[in-house]
Amino acid sequence: MTPKKMMSIFALAAVSASASADVYTLDSCRNMAVGNNKTIRVAEETIKGAGYDRKAAKAAYLPGLDFNAGYVYNQRTINLLAENANLPTMTLDPLTGNYLPNVLLGPDLKPVIDPASGNPVFTEVAVIPKEAMSFDTHNVVAGAFTLTQPVYMGGQIKALNEITKYAEKAAVAARNSVVQDVIFGVDQAYWLVVSLKEKRKLAESFVTLVDTLRYNVNAMLEEGVATRSDLLMVDVKLNEARIALTKVDNGLKLSRMSLAQICGLPIQTEMTLADEDYKPYRPAAPEYSYNLTDVYARRQDLEILRQGINVLENREKMALGTMLPKVAVVGAYEFSNPNLNDGFKKRFGGGFSVGATVSIPLWHWGGNYHHYQATKSATNAQRLLLEDMEEMVSLQVEQAKFSFQEAFKTYDMTLSNMKSAEANLENAQFGFREGVLTADDVIAAQTAWLQANSEKIDAEIGIHLCEVYLSKVLGKLSY
């Protein structure tokens, strides 16, 4: 039985075994991974938060209504007089039309002076009782509704709105970048499973080849045309082939678990992939033409830096706003208990007031100016970082393009090597049956056949991985 026929039988058996299981395509694995990835969920929440920040910044344009209230308990009452107050009185002189104080006149018709105080002695006084100027302020309640409308804030409100807008765009770009990384990881895990499944079939074929050789050598040993050493050498190779099959089988199981974990499924999920029954093909190497300017525009990691520059430029404007005047209109309704609207009354009373506030920074020892210069330096640093990243991306694109082209050349060489290995194996088997070649020659041919087929599988899978990587670095990987 030829190696091609044996591999076909194993492929047919694999199809029959997996017919009853769920089949996962590459797109379905991508969708599950994107939907279940925790990092993407964190990025989505970051976008939501940035959206709320943008809405909050818009509210700064609108008037703000605040309510403030307070309560104070005072131990003592307020007494404006320490004792009853005696106020002098005056009488109108009809002859002069002037008011004359009601003072006590002596025999010389001059006012009598009180020697203790040095003031004239009045004949009539008006009494203000102490209680009339005492106010109960043991319990005081006061409050105010205040309406504030910003008129000019030095451009800070507009800059804040711009910052939140660009921050939201940066959050979206960060999410897209994470999604691309997740998709690339899914593709790697997916094609690793496909690769190991093919290598498992190849390992089974190799075990069958060596086992068939052992059967033939054992028959020749019984006929006396082979030695015990030949049989032992084949036994060693058969054990090595079985160990290799076990390793590939374990690697395949672990790779399925890894893919299930990336897709957000339980690691014990039996995942049958649509591309497991891999069909050899001869893809045509596409000629990728691209414009670096378009690549820069599509790259989400560069988009994050670009939006970061926009944020920093508006932070410059906010820092500049700290050195500019600020104007606002304020309206308020204030109330208190007790109130003084119509004398001192122990009940709630209040009134409206309207005004404007102006704040002009004059001198802060250069603190605001230095902060403004610091924000400009941060913006320049971000621009330089973007330029450096663009240079790295251009190099990355060229490397990915060369790797993609190299993958097709490698694939062509593995096809040639595999044909040579198959012909060599058939010749070795024929020569061994005719007695002109030894078992060692057959084992060497089998090993070369195994290596050639393994390299062909790696080359085929490598084309897929190089293609998705090139799409990623070109910014074309769908998300």
pLDDT digits (tens, 9 = 90+) for 431-446: 988 888 888 899 999 9
| pLDDT for position 4 | 43
State the pLDDT confidence band at 347, using cuts at 50, 70 and 90.
confident
In 3-state terms, what secondary structure has residue 146? Answer: strand
Q: Which residue has the higher pLDDT, 358 or 283?
A: 358
| Closest-CA residue to 241 (of 213, 220, 221) | 213
- In tens, the pLDDT along 280-316 reads 665 566 666 789 999 999 999 999 999 999 999 999 9
| pLDDT for position 182 | 95
State the pLDDT confidence band at 479, using cuts at 50, 70 and 90.
low
Q: Are strands 139-152 and 64-73 parallel, antiparallel or unpaired?
A: antiparallel
- In tens, the pLDDT along 154-210 reads 999 999 999 999 999 999 999 999 999 999 999 999 999 999 999 999 999 999 999
**Chain-centroid distance, C-alpha 153:** 31
DSSP classification of residue 61:
G
| pLDDT for position 380 | 97
| pLDDT for position 286 | 60
d(CA 17, CA 240) in angstroms, rounded, equals 27
d(CA 393, CA 8) in angstroms, rounded, equals 44
* Residue 109 confidence (pLDDT) above 50: yes
- Long-range contacts formed by 223-229: CB under 8 A, 24+ apart: 225/435, 226/439
| pLDDT for position 143 | 94
Q: Residue 294: what are its φ and ψ, rounded to 5°?
A: -70, -40
pLDDT over 70 for what percent of the chain?
93
What type of residue is 461? I
| Closest-CA residue to 394 (of 275, 302, 322) | 302
* Residue 20 confidence (pLDDT) above 50: no
At which residue do the structure tokens 């970061």 appear? Answer: 308
| pLDDT for position 283 | 59
State the pLDDT confidence band at 335, using cuts at 50, 70 and 90.
very high
State the pLDDT confidence band at 92, using cuts at 50, 70 and 90.
confident
Query: What mean pLDDT value characterizes the chain?
Result: 88
State the pLDDT confidence band at 16, using cuts at 50, 70 and 90.
very low
| pLDDT for position 294 | 93
Cα–Cα distances in Å, from 155 out to 88, 161, 297, 320, 330? 62, 10, 30, 8, 19
* Residue 426 confidence (pLDDT) above 70: yes
Neighbour-count burial of 153, counting CB atoms closer than 10 A to its CB (0-12 exposed, 13-18 middle, 19+ buried): buried
What type of residue is 244? A
Is the CB of residue 226 less than 8 Å from the CB of residue 214? no
What region, left, alpha or beta, does residue 220 occupy, with left being phi > 0 and alpha being psi -120 to 50 degrees? Answer: alpha
- Long-range contacts formed by 150-154: CB under 8 A, 24+ apart: 150/60, 150/61, 150/326, 150/327, 150/328, 151/327, 151/328, 151/329, 151/356, 152/325, 152/326, 152/327, 153/321, 153/326, 153/328, 154/320, 154/321, 154/322, 154/323, 154/324, 154/325, 154/326
| pLDDT for position 76 | 84
What type of residue is 228? R
State the pLDDT confidence band at 6, using cuts at 50, 70 and 90.
very low
pLDDT over 90 for what percent of the chain?
65
Q: Residue 100: what are its φ and ψ, rounded to 5°?
A: -110, 140
* Residue 3 confidence (pLDDT) above 60: no
* Residue 8 confidence (pLDDT) above 70: no
- In tens, the pLDDT along 237-281 reads 999 999 999 999 999 999 999 999 999 999 998 889 998 876 666
| Closest-CA residue to 356 (of 328, 334, 326) | 328
Q: Which residue has the higher pLDDT, 84 or 65?
A: 65
* Residue 11 confidence (pLDDT) above 50: no
In 3-state terms, what secondary structure has residue 299? Answer: coil
pTM of the model: 0.80
